[in-house]
Amino acid sequence: MGKKQIGKKSKSQGSILSPKSLEQDIKRHIMLTLGNDYFAPKKSLYYKGLAYSVRDRLIERWLKTQRSYYDKITKRIYYLSLEFLPGRFLMNYIINMDIKDE
């Protein structure tokens, strides 16, 4: 059975996930979330901007999943994890969301 694509649209930008939309999201987070100018070539700013952009996409998918669970009135198990997205797990999230090549 083929791999199912989950949501190819970004609600935050309203466009198909593409390298261009990802780049725009990163720049937007550098300016608006981090309060810096994206023209200053600091790797740490781009890394944090990327982390926030990936987080946005994860949250959109997570909310879609939550809505489907509430619609079906399913049982839920809650788990508290101490993972922090801008840490060592960022690359895992990028790979799992199929946006590594973007």
pLDDT tens profile 35-85? 998 887 788 999 999 999 999 999 999 999 889 988 888 887 877 666 555
Read off the pLDDT of residues 3-16 as tens digits, 9 standing for 90 and up: 444 444 544 444 45
Q: How buried is 56 (Cβ within 10 angstroms: 0-12 exposed, 13-18 middle, 19+ buried)?
A: middle
Read off the pLDDT of residues 87-97 as tens digits, 9 standing for 90 and up: 667 777 788 77
- Would residue 29 count as lying in a domain? yes
Closest CA to 52 of 15, 81, 80, 10: 10
Which phi-psi region, left, alpha or beta, contains residue 79 (left: φ > 0; alpha: ψ -120 to 50)?
beta
- Would residue 57 count as lying in a domain? yes
- Would residue 92 count as lying in a domain? yes
According to DSSP, the residues that pair with 9 across neighbouring strands are 16
| Residue 42 structure tokens | 């600091």
| pTM: predicted TM-score of the whole model, two decimal places | 0.58
What is the tally of helices (H) and strands (E) in the chain? 3, 2
Instruction: Please give the tally of structural domains in the chain.
Output: 1
Structural domain range at position 60? 18-96
